[in-house]
Amino acid sequence: MKQHPLLLLVTLTCIPAWSLQADAVNGGIALIPLPDSSIAPEVWYHGQRVLVTGHDGHWQAAVGIPLSQSAGDDYLNITGSSNKIPFTISHRDYPEQHIFLNNTHQVNPSPDELSRIHGELKQELDDFAVFDGTVDPHALNLTKLPVKSNQVLSAFGLKRFFNGEPRAPHSGLDLKAAEGEPVTAPASGRVLMTRQLFFNGNTIMLDEGQGLISMYCHLSQISVHEGQLIQAGDLLGYVGHTGRATGPHLHWSVSLNGVRVDPRLLLTPALNASLLPH
Ligand SMILES: [Zn+2]
């Protein structure tokens, strides 16, 4: 049956708002109201397409703000409009974390390893920048975690020091999990890539639509293949400690418009409140 165009429009604009705790801070997600228009506008932030959804008959953008972004005024661009959409970013401070690794190669890699790492990082940035506008994201109001434990081992955004040396901040959420425990998809999507990486070990990335990409690292085993369509709850692989990991756990990253944000922001308030700190 062919749907009447108007009916389709009503359906789209009635998508309920998700309950993420939006906050225009570095490492957060800003929810920015957009001017009314009959179809979803194409919105850009720092040259990247931004996720747009309907709320109360109006459009809004869910914008990932980089951890490195300083406080101050910023703006979105809309295709076909010369008006910028301004918003203000506040500063959030994240605590320090000191980690000791016996494997010094993973703190100060050799030149060969460094060139491998740079190649992998470039590929990772390209993967995080993917924007598939044909998929409606369902991952914005998660009711389940990718592992059964709700204990956080390492929060998002921590300023990290490996063997005393400053390194990149923690770009995901580490959840407690035993070696071999199943990792399941918290939302539907498509497998963007499966790879064996120097730091992240056996890794899966899922494309959940409109630039919302999630990543699962340090797996002992990968059970999906690139291009595979995934439903919420499907098995992705098994927990491990491959790559740079002090022990078995799940590192879970979430990215919007090419920017890593705190995965906790996608959880329902009840699920978020149930997480136990380390
Ligand atoms: Zn981690």
Q: Are residues 40 and 57 in the same domain?
A: yes
Give me the residues near ligand 1 (ion), CB cutoff below 5 Å.
172, 174, 251
Of the candidates 149, 151, 113, 147, the one whose C-alpha atom is nearest the C-alpha of residue 238 is 147
**Measured CA angle at 206 (ends 277, 162), to 5 deg:** 45
Distance (angstroms) between ligand 1 centre and the Cα of 149 equals 15
Q: Are residues 157 and 264 in the same domain?
A: yes
Q: What is the pLDDT of residues 26-76, one digit of tens each?
A: 999 999 999 988 888 999 999 999 999 886 668 889 999 999 999 999 999
The 3-state DSSP class for residue 128 equals helix
Q: Are residues 111 and 217 in the same domain?
A: yes
Q: 214 and 205 in contact (C-beta within 8 Å)?
A: yes
Count the domains in the chain.
Answer: 2
Distance (angstroms) between ligand 1 centre and the Cα of 202 equals 13
Q: What is the pLDDT of residues 165-186, one digit of tens each?
A: 888 899 999 999 999 999 999 9
Q: Are residues 225 and 164 in the same domain?
A: yes
Choosing from 34, 60, 89, the residue where a domain stops is 89
Distance (angstroms) between ligand 1 centre and the Cα of 59 equals 33
Distance (angstroms) between ligand 1 centre and the Cα of 109 equals 19
Choosing from 59, 89, 119, the residue where a domain stops is 89
Q: Are residues 103 and 220 in the same domain?
A: yes
Q: 138 and 187 in contact (C-beta within 8 Å)?
A: yes
pTM: 0.88
Structural domain range at position 36: 5-89
Q: Are residues 126 and 233 in the same domain?
A: yes
Q: What is the pLDDT of residues 106-137, one digit of tens each?
A: 778 899 999 999 999 999 999 999 998 876 66
